[in-house]
Amino acid sequence: MVKISVVSGFLGSGKTTLIKKLLKEDYFGKNPYLIENDYGVVNLDDQLKNEVGVQMLDMSSGCICCSLVGNFLVELEELIRMRQPEHIIIEPSSVSKLSELQNVFCMLKIPYELYTTVTVVDAIRFAQNQYVAEEYFWDQMKSADAVVLSKVEKVSKETLASICRQIQEKIGDRKIICEPWDTAYAPLLEKACRPVSYEANVSARRLMLPRGRMRFKGA
């Protein structure tokens, strides 16, 4: 079954950087397919293709959660049928509502697994972005499995703590990831987005190790 992941967030928050980082960490498996919907801005197609060799579909004539829904569904189903990718990563436009996009997925006539839904939030522009487009801002966070804060090294500890508090109040028990970006994110996201399968994987790995050597793979 095809896996679908969504990396949402405002313009300049670091969505593309996070996708690149996760591609390099093999989070999306082999030969994932990226659908990019950042219309009206310079896109990073070539850079991404060259750097991480990902296949891409660019939808830039509207927003996939509203004006482009019909096209998007057709393209997505065709992509799944024709190319049979293991994993599709979707980067919605800055001004898309994640809750609406999730409703769009419900219209898909092909079985799929919604794998990871994450929203990237710029720590520096937190207050500013909140006032500019509050509705989108919180919708994207409330509808995600986890929130990733970017540029955390560039704000004070107090500011970061205050941002985390404000977000946590809105997203309940879902996780906020605010490690510096040179940390490996794949395990953090895995644990935040699918704690049950993560725990199962960890115990499976534990069992496979010879007795007396309780070290995790990669540790």
User: For binding to Zn ion (CB under 5 A), which residues are involved?
Assistant: 63, 65-66, 96
Q: Between 59 and 177, whose beta carbon lies closer to Zn ion?
A: 59
CA distance 78 to 209: 43
122 burial via Cβ count (<10 Å: 0-12, 13-18, 19+): buried
User: Considering the complex, what minimum distance in angstroms separates the CB of residue 26 from Zn ion?
Assistant: 30
Burial class (CB in 10 A: 0-12, 13-18, 19+), 95: middle
- The answer to whether the CB of 15 falls within 8 A of the CB of 150 is no
Q: Considering beta carbons, is residue 43 or 201 the nearer one to Zn ion?
A: 43
Residue number with the smallest Cβ distance to Zn ion: 63
When the beta carbons of 96 and 140 are compared against Zn ion, the nearer one is 96
Nearest to 5 by CA among 46, 43, 34, 44: 34
Q: In terms of CB distance, is 127 or 132 closer to Zn ion?
A: 132
Distance CA 108, CA 175 (A): 28
CB nearer Zn ion, residue 96 or residue 150: 96
- Closest separation between CB of residue 59 and Zn ion, Å? 11
Distance CA 190, CA 113 (A): 15
Strand partners, 57: 35
For residue 141, count CB atoms less than 10 angstroms from its CB and return exposed for 0-12, middle for 13-18, buried for 19 or more: buried
